[in-house]
Amino acid sequence: MEKTILHYDLDAFYASVETRDNKKFIGRPLVVAGGVVTTANYEARKYGVHSAMSLFEAKKLCPNLVVVPVDKRKYARESHIIHSLVLKITHKIEFVALDEGYIDVTDIILKYKSKESFAKIFRERIFKLTGLTCSIGIGINKLMAKIASDINKPNGQFIFNSEEEFIEYMKDKNIRKLQGVGEKFEKILKKDNINVVGDLLKFTFKELEAKYGTSRGKLLYLSSRGIDYGEVKFKRKAHSIGNESTYSFPLDKNSDAEINKKIFDIFETSYARLIKSNYLTKTISIKIRYENMKTISKAKTFIMPTDNKDYLLSILEEILDSIEFKGNIRLLGVSFKNLAKKSARQLSFTEIK
């Protein structure tokens, strides 16, 4: 049976939360930023301000810009409210970011008048609960739903009912609309005179594969035709315990001693949390965010769950030794994953009533 997949994405998420909480910001260009813009509201976007831009550059483009610091915990709370709402109706959901997710609504939609009315009700429910607007896309797979949710952004919705409808809409759109076609790939394609999605329809899979390699050929062939067999995967949130610090003055990538000291301090807090929660861990992970917002994490998993501090510290050092810092650092974090309750033990058959 054909599926119905919904993709939702909150509008200017961090910025909308901040505006909701401070009415005097309404209608003013605003960014949520440290040294770098995480998001710009739609008023600021009119000036060309966008995420990943330095705050300095953003202020140059828009001198009367309102700047609000990042409060990740606050946004995570909103995200949690939305997740709880969705989980009340279905577990067929894949949360892909704090403000974004796919829901398989194949069965649910049957109880509603139409896809349009379901999408509208969904947006209204989110607004009522959080005071935030979101955009929704519905398609017969994830690929279509994701592209659809962007079409009438902000506070809008769009629906593709079939591959034909998708192709009809996309054929004259820029190839950048396809997920996976970034700036560099776009340049390559344009050199080959492939400018709009419709240009891809002239090629067979074999031809695209020969030109651009198997994985990119496949991406182009399938996504230009709206084909996607990926399931909505419900992933339980990985349980982890940890701590992280953000630096408004990024740490110099060459100051090893300072960086190490910071990591060990963060470890102390994470470790205290681990002990307090009565968990053992099998994985330590270090997270690093650079000035340009690129975030990496490096983890090491060991065989036996443990909470032995010396052992964990030795693993932490091993990970640190293997990292080469690629830029000045804006955030550091240490977390423990693969957790097991310390008191957990196997029940014997006689204990199972």
Which active-site residues does the annotation give? Answer: 100
Specify the pairing of strand 66-68 against strand 30-33. Answer: parallel
Among 6, 8, 9, 93, contact with Mg ion (rule: CB under 5 A):
9
Contact pattern for ligand TTP over residues 191 through 230, marking x by CB under 6 A: ----------------------------------------
Residues contacting 271, CB < 8 A, separation 6+: 309, 312
Could you tell me the two tokens for 125?
Answer: 């429910």
Interface residues for Mg ion in 48-107 (CB under 5 A)? 99
- Out of 67, 96, 108, 293, name the contact with ligand TTP by CB under 6 A: 293
Which of 271, 262, 206 has its CA nearest to residue 241? 271
Asked if 78 interacts with ligand TTP (CB under 6 A), we say: no
Find the binder of ligand TTP among 9, 18, 104, 228 (CB under 6 A): 9
Burial 270-300 (b: 16+ CB within 10 A, else e): bbeebeeeebbbbbbbbbbbbbebeeeeeee
Residue 95 site contact among ligand TTP, Mg ion, none (CB < 5 to 8 Å, cut-off depends on kind): none
Residue 325 vs residues 258, 294, 295, 313: alpha-carbon distances, Å: 13, 12, 11, 20
Comparison of 9 and 228: residue with beta carbon closer to Mg ion: 9
Q: Does 55 bind ligand TTP (CB under 6 A)?
A: no
Among 35, 125, 154, 302, binds ligand TTP (CB under 6 A): 154
Q: How many CB atoms lie within 10 A of CB 81?
A: 12
CA distances from 20 to 16, 24, 75, 143, 233 (A): 6, 9, 12, 31, 32
**C-alpha span between 309 and 290 (Å, rounded):** 28
Of 93 and 266, CB closest to Mg ion: 93
Give me the least distance between CB of 336 and ligand TTP, in Å please: 24
Q: Choose the binding region for ligand TTP from 11-19, 115-123, 168-176, 271-279 (rule: CB under 6 A).
A: 11-19
Closest C-alpha to 8, from 79, 107, 112: 79
Per CB under 6 A, contacts with ligand TTP among 95-114 are 97, 99-100
Residue 52 interacts with, from Mg ion, ligand TTP, none (CB under 5-8 Å by kind): ligand TTP
Q: Which residues contact Mg ion by CB under 5 A?
A: 9-10, 13, 99
